[in-house]
Structure 1
Amino acid sequence: MKFITVRDLRTSPAKIWKELPEEQEMVITNNGKPIALLTPIGDSNLEETLSSIRQARAMNAVKLMQQISLKKGNDKMSIDEIEEEIRKARQESR
């Protein structure tokens, strides 16, 4: 995987677009931190690619929620405690 800076993207876009199909993925960085991912797509795989990215984001969000839940000790809650939490959340959302 190739890393490129925002500056590289601004100053040499033609070179980057030319390399992208071969590289398959390029990470754009700003001040040394990753901020975006470039990946080649076409009309034929646009929806499939977007769907895959969205699914991966959702899976990462679930994984993060599970980790936070474990840190809080929620894995030791009884069914009654879980149902009480659900009831409270539903009342608050009304």
Structure 2
Amino acid sequence: MRYISSAEIRSNPALLWKEGEDKETIITVNGKPKVITLTFNGDPEKVLDLIRRLRAEQSIEHMWEKSIQSGLNMMTLPEINSEINNARKELTNE
């Protein structure tokens, strides 16, 4: 894996194609990672679908960790249903 700044790419776009096609590249803006490039074989839609599923899985894992930290994982089913009903009432009253 390698890091390239967006400024470097602007001045020399060929940097993305150098050092072999099998290398992942992280493009940075002001030193912060913004974009990951990678090469792939096959259907781009299938690759994007896999990436989307991984991102969704990561989001669910993050929500699960937050629920554990805040103690929400200890809620009983009646407590959960009560929260859902209260939220629905708030939505219909708006």
User: TM-score band (shorter)?
Assistant: 0.7 to 0.9
Higher helix proportion (structure 1 or 2)? 1
Displacement of 1:93 after TM fit?
2.7
Q: After superposition, where does 1:44-83 map in structure 2 within 5 Å? A: 44-83=42-81
**One-letter identity of the residue aligned with 1:38:** T
What is the rounded CA distance, in whole Å, between the counterparts of 1:50 and 1:13 in structure 2? 23
Structure 1 position 34 matched with structure 2 position 37: no
Cα deviations across residues 36-55 of structure 1 (Å, max 9, x unaligned)? 1111246x320111101111
Identity among equivalent positions (%) equals: 35
1:20 touches 1:26 (CA, 8 Å); kept in 2? no
What is the rounded CA distance, in whole Å, between the counterparts of 1:75 and 1:60 in structure 2? 18
Aligned to 2:12: 12
What is the rounded CA distance, in whole Å, between the counterparts of 1:12 and 1:45 in structure 2? 28
- Larger CA deviation: 8-17 vs 49-58: 8-17
What is the rounded CA distance, in whole Å, between the counterparts of 1:36 and 1:13 in structure 2? 15
What SS does the aligned partner of 1:22 have? Answer: coil
Q: Could you tell me the TM-score, scaled by structure 1's length?
A: 0.84
Q: Could you tell me the TM-score, scaled by structure 2's length?
A: 0.84
The answer for unaligned runs of 5 or more in structure 1 is none
1:6 touches 1:29 (CA, 8 Å); kept in 2? yes
Structure 1 pair 20/57, CA: closer, same or farther in 2 (3 Å)? Answer: farther
Aligned to 1:21: 21
Aligned to 2:85: 87
Cα deviations across residues 50-80 of structure 1 (Å, max 9, x unaligned)? 1011111101111111111111111111111
